[in-house]
Amino acid sequence: MESYEQIEIPEEELVSRLFKKDQTAFSYLYDNYAAAVNGVIYRIVMDEESAEDVLQEVFVKIWHNFTQYDKTKGKLFTWIINIARNRAIDYTRSKNFKNQQKNLDVDKIVSYIDSKKSTSFNTDKIGLRAMLTGLKPEQRQILDLVYFKGYTQAEVADELNIPLGTVKTRIRMALILLRSIV
């Protein structure tokens, strides 16, 4: 038996079936449009979880308000993208989103920095490189890999071919020494 994912439904038939609240047609719509719609939403909200939440709201709105679609005014995809874009913009203007941006957790900060493409900073200006010169070379090397190049402790252990416990100990000792300098 062929499923809705393996068949192609022409837009005109899809629209007709969606007006009749055909759940199979809606599933087809979601499966074939959700990735593109999510991409548009993500470019606006810049957060995966939020984009997924907005995506769900968009498809719920489409289901409940499909009778508002007018094929004489444009293609189905254009109508859906406009709903998604407007909903994403509304979300970024919401109080919840603004508060969320103030309280970013570490993972979201990294994603935010990556999205802004501004991961470099001049450590010489804040004197950090100068403080590192007081460390043993092996401690300095590990801190450079972890804090400046973004390696995990396990990746450092693999890179330097040393035990993970040694990496953790060297980081700990280096941080204790740095705290005493500051």
| pLDDT band, very low/low/confident/very high, at 108 (cuts 50, 70, 90) | low
Query: Mean pLDDT over residues 108-113, rounded?
Result: 59
One domain for residues 160 and 89: no
| Res 120 pLDDT > 60 | no
**Both 59 and 136 in a single domain?**
no
Would you say residue 132 lies in a domain?
A: yes
Q: 107 — phi, psi (to 5°)?
A: -60, -40
pLDDT of residue 134: 77
- Give the angle subtended at the CA of 116 by the CAs of 111 and 120, to the nearest 5°: 95
* b/e 53-87 (16+ beta carbons within 10 angstroms → b): ebbebbbebbeeebeebeeeeeebeebbbebbbeb
Same domain, 48 and 71: yes
Half-sphere exposure of 81 (CA within 13 A, CB side): 10
Provide the CATH number for the domain around residue 144: 1.10.10.10
Contact 142, 173 (CB under 8 A): no
Structural domain including 78 reads 11-115
The pLDDT value recorded for residue 28 is: 93
Report the distance separating Cα 27 and Cα 5, nearest Å: 9
Mean pLDDT score of the chain, rounded to an integer? Answer: 80
In the chain, which residue ranges form alpha helices assigned H by DSSP?
11-19, 23-45, 48-64, 76-93, 95-102, 106-116, 128-132, 137-143, 153-160, 164-181
Dist CA 104 CA 102 (whole Å)? 6
Q: Is residue 28, in this structure, part of any structural domain at all?
A: yes
Residues 133 and 104 in one domain: no
The pLDDT tens digits of the residues spanning 133-180 come to 778 888 888 887 877 677 788 888 998 999 999 999 988 888 888 777
Tokens of 180: 């005493």
**Both 87 and 164 in a single domain?**
no
Whether residue 90 is contained in a domain is answered as: yes
DSSP count for the chain of H helices, then E strands: 10, 0
Span 68-93, pLDDT tens digits: 999 898 889 889 988 999 898 888 88
Tell me the pLDDT tens digit for each residue of 11-32: 899 999 999 999 999 999 999 9
> Does the residue 121 lie in any domain?
no
CB atoms within 10 A of CB 135: 20
- The predicted model scores a pTM of 0.53
